[in-house]
């Protein structure tokens, strides 16, 4: 099989993304779905994923920072977007002008947004800290922040559209504590005179596992890409289809003798004559070097071991006596239902999580809608 496409490609199955969103939506209804497309759509291509997720019924898009939100607007996406990670230098004005909801984690951010000169009141969603110890208003600031927000809202200087927080997904007990803390925050906000339309707490794991964490909206990241947030359950167990298939075109094939050392440091040597295939993907593409000598790739229906160190631009596969040729296509990971290794497999081989495997796929890999 020869192939004329680029030597490194990630094919993104948009039908799978649509189906994953539809499936998760059905599970969480009447809560609505926000598709989280930060970090270039977990490596899949933010605009591609955003469009497919909206087609699948997502009502919202979520990103970490304002740059990501503006990039979606520049790509022509008009759906509601929430961006929640800022620092003291963040300029909120372009985001407000672009109709982006701002996740607000400090009273200073609230004041900065209220002081902008805008046509319509900026839309904010207050992020409260409930046990993750990252951003979000800490409980000690809740009363002051809610009262101030209510005042600014009454003055027409902003509108509080939502209140949200994020779970640590550590254990049922810790999530229950966070849900209770969140409920306390909601009650205090109401006492202060706020009545946000969107209360949200759950990402994929809690959206699936904890019905009472769903509130009005769930923020779905990993699940829409068809991957499981749970170590003990895979995509198929959740009825999800992995959306990314990562492929490389074999750049060289070489027959070697017994004893030949392979790649840097010669951590592997051929124990018998064999054929080695060179794939032009390496750690610059996000292929984890930690998976050297243990990972497997799929070539023409067969899984072959990666041998030696994974390098910056390339890795070597021992194909034995298989009739593999230059130009053949290797699948590093995809949907295990098709026999391909999965992102979960790579996570295990590299000692990490599937999130990191897909999100780190680098810019030399061309993304194609499939
Ligand atoms: C990344 C992120 C999500 C999505 O989490 P998944 O586990 O991928 O579903 C949701 N909410 C916030 C605040 C996030 O940062």
Using pLDDT thresholds of 50, 70 and 90, give the confidence band for residue 170: confident
pLDDT tens, position by position, 214-227: 999 999 999 999 99
Q: Cα–Cα distances in Å, from 361 out to 42, 45, 212, 244?
A: 9, 10, 35, 10
Is the distance from the beta carbon of residue 229 to the nearest atom of ligand 1 less than 6 Å?
yes
pLDDT tens, position by position, 295-336: 999 999 999 999 999 999 999 999 999 999 999 999 999 999
C-alpha 220 to ligand 1 mean position (Å): 6
**Ligand 1 probe mutation, 41, 61, 62, 131, most atoms within 8 A of CB:** 62
Mean pLDDT confidence for 11-28? 98
What is the set of active-site residues? 38, 264
Using pLDDT thresholds of 50, 70 and 90, give the confidence band for residue 1: very low
**Ligand 1 probe mutation, 219, 228, 240, most atoms within 8 A of CB:** 219
Which residue, by CA, sits nearest to atom 13 of ligand 1?
A: 166
Is the distance from the beta carbon of residue 219 to the nearest atom of ligand 1 less than 6 Å?
yes
**Ligand 1 probe mutation, 203, 206, 213, most atoms within 8 A of CB:** 203
User: pTM above the 0.95 mark?
Assistant: yes
The atom number, within ligand 1, closest to the CA of 219 reads: 10
pLDDT tens, position by position, 226-246: 999 999 999 999 999 999 999
Is the distance from the beta carbon of residue 36 to the nearest atom of ligand 1 less than 6 Å?
yes
Q: Which CATH architecture has domain 244-369?
A: Beta Barrel (2.40)
Beta-strand runs (E) in the chain: 8-12, 32-36, 60-63, 81-83, 101-104, 123-127, 159-164, 198-200, 217-220, 244-249, 252-256, 261-262, 268-269, 274-279, 296-299, 302-307, 315-320, 329-333, 366-369
The atom number, within ligand 1, closest to the CA of 166 reads: 13
CA-wise closest residue to 285 among 330, 232, 221, 231: 330
C-alpha 370 to ligand 1 mean position (Å): 25
Mean pLDDT confidence for 252-261? 98
Predicted local distance difference test score (pLDDT) of residue 146: 98
Q: Which residue's structure tokens are 């849900």?
A: 179
Predicted local distance difference test score (pLDDT) of residue 212: 95
Q: What is the rounded average pLDDT for all residues in the chain?
A: 97
pLDDT tens, position by position, 348-364: 999 999 999 999 999 99
Quick one: what percent of the chain has pLDDT higher than 70?
99
Cβ-contact 283, 310 below 8 angstroms: yes
CATH code, 31-226 = 3.20.20.10
Quick one: what percent of the chain has pLDDT higher than 90?
96
Predicted local distance difference test score (pLDDT) of residue 2: 46
Which sequence spans correspond to the domains of the chain? Answer: 31-226, 244-369
Using pLDDT thresholds of 50, 70 and 90, give the confidence band for residue 4: low
pLDDT tens, position by position, 102-132: 999 999 999 999 999 999 999 999 999 999 9
Residue 54 has pLDDT above 80, yes or no: yes
The atom number, within ligand 1, closest to the CA of 203 reads: 9
- 119-124 long-range Cβ contacts below 8 angstroms, 24+ apart: 121/153, 121/156, 121/157, 121/158, 121/159, 122/92, 122/96, 122/157, 122/158, 122/159, 123/99, 123/158, 123/159, 123/161, 124/149, 124/158, 124/159, 124/160, 124/161
Which residues are CB-contacts of 181 (< 8 A; sequence separation ≥ 6)? 128, 130, 131, 139, 165
Is the distance from the beta carbon of residue 105 to the nearest atom of ligand 1 less than 6 Å?
no
């Amino acid at each position: 099989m020869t192939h004329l496409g680029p030597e490194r490609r990630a094919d993104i199955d948009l039908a799978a993304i649509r189906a994953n969103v539809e499936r998760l939506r059905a599970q969480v209804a009447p809560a609505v779905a926000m598709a989280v497309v930060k970090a270039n759509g977990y490596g899949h291509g933010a605009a591609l994923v955003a469009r497919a997720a909206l087609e699948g019924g997502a009502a919202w898009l979520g990103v970490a920072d304002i740059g990501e939100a503006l990039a979606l607007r520049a790509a022509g996406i008009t759906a509601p977007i929430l961006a929640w990670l800022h620092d003291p230098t963040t300029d909120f004005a372009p985001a407000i002008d672009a109709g982006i909801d701002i996740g607000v984690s400090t009273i200073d951010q609230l004041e900065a947004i209220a002081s902008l000169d805008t046509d319509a009141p900026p839309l904010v969603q207050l992020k409260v800290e409930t046990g993750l110890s990252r951003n979000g208003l800490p409980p000690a600031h809740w009363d002051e922040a809610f009262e101030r927000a209510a005042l600014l809202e009454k003055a027409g200087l902003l509108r509080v559209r939502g209140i949200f927080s994020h779970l640590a997904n550590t254990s049922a007990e810790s999530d229950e504590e966070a849900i209770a803390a969140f409920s306390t925050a909601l009650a205090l906000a109401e006492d202060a005179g706020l009545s946000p339309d969107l209360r949200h707490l759950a990402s994929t794991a809690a959206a699936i596992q904890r019905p009472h964490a769903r509130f009005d909206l769930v923020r779905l990241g990993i699940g829409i890409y068809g991957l499981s947030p749970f170590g003990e359950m895979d995509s198929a167990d959740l009825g999800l289809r992995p959306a990314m298939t990562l492929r490389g075109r074999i750049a060289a094939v070489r027959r070697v003798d017994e004893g030949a050392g392979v790649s840097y440091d010669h951590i592997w040597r051929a124990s018998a004559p064999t054929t080695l295939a060179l794939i032009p993907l390496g750690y610059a593409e996000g292929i984890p070097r930690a998976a050297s000598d243990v990972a497997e790739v799929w070539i023409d229906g067969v899984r072959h071991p990666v041998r030696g160190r994974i390098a910056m631009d390339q890795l070597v596969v021992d194909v034995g006596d298989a009739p593999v040729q230059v130009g053949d296509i290797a699948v590093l990971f995809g949907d295990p239902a098709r026999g391909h290794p999965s992102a979960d497999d790579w996570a295990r081989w590299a000692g990490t999580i599937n999130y990191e495997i897909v999100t780190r796929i680098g810019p030399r890999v061309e993304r194609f809608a499939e």
